[in-house]
Each structure stands twice: as C-alpha cells, then as structure tokens.
Amino acid sequence: MSVVEQGKRDEMVGRVFPGGQFMIHQMPYCDEGLGAAQWNDRMEYVEAFRELLSGWPGRAGQRLSTMVVFERDGPGQNHTAS
C-alpha cells in the first residue's frame, strides 16, 4: 500500500469511531458510535464500517459493496437509504 493509500485507509477506519479517534482518552458523555442504543445514533458508524469492510477481497467484500444503509448528503443532511 502506498503512503497515500495508507492515509485513505486510516481515514476510513477513523470514520467508524466518534470523533475519528482510534483510541479514546476519556469515557464518552453521550450515547454514540457503534454501541449506541438507538439506530439513528449508530447508523453513520455502521455505514462507515460497511464501507471499510467492502474493500476486503472475496465475496464478502463484494456483497458489502452493494449494500447501503446510510447515505451522506452533506453536513447535517443524512438519511437512511430507501
């Protein structure tokens, strides 16, 4: 992987976590991320995880690349796919 590709991969991994942080320095004060109780609080992170895994080789990656559970319209304009 080139340095640019590594940077893009790190960015994709970061989107899976609130604040884009791989490690937390303090416990979160709100219910967010993959462990959030409500779907609408977790869907952005589930979609980022799906996007990350869709680059994996084989059938699993190909299948994940055809699914969309969340569309990014822009800042503050997110919605579930229909």
The pLDDT tens digits along the chain (82 residues) read: 899 999 999 999 999 998 887 777 777 778 888 889 998 888 999 999 999 999 888 998 889 888 877 665 654 455 555 4
pTM of the model: 0.73
Structural domain contains residue 21: no
Domain count, the chain: 1
What local confidence, expressed as pLDDT, does residue 11 receive? Answer: 93
Angle at 20 between CA 18 and CA 52, to 5 degrees: 95
How far is 5 from 70, CA to CA, in rounded Å? 24
Is there a contact between 50 and 71 (Cβ–Cβ < 8 Å)? no
- Structural domain contains residue 76: yes
Residue 26 forms part of a structural domain? no
At residue 82, the pLDDT reads: 44
Q: What pLDDT, on a 0 to 100 scale, did the predictor assign at position 48? A: 93
**Buried b or exposed e, range 22-35, using 16+ CB within 10 angstroms:** eeeeeeeeeebbee
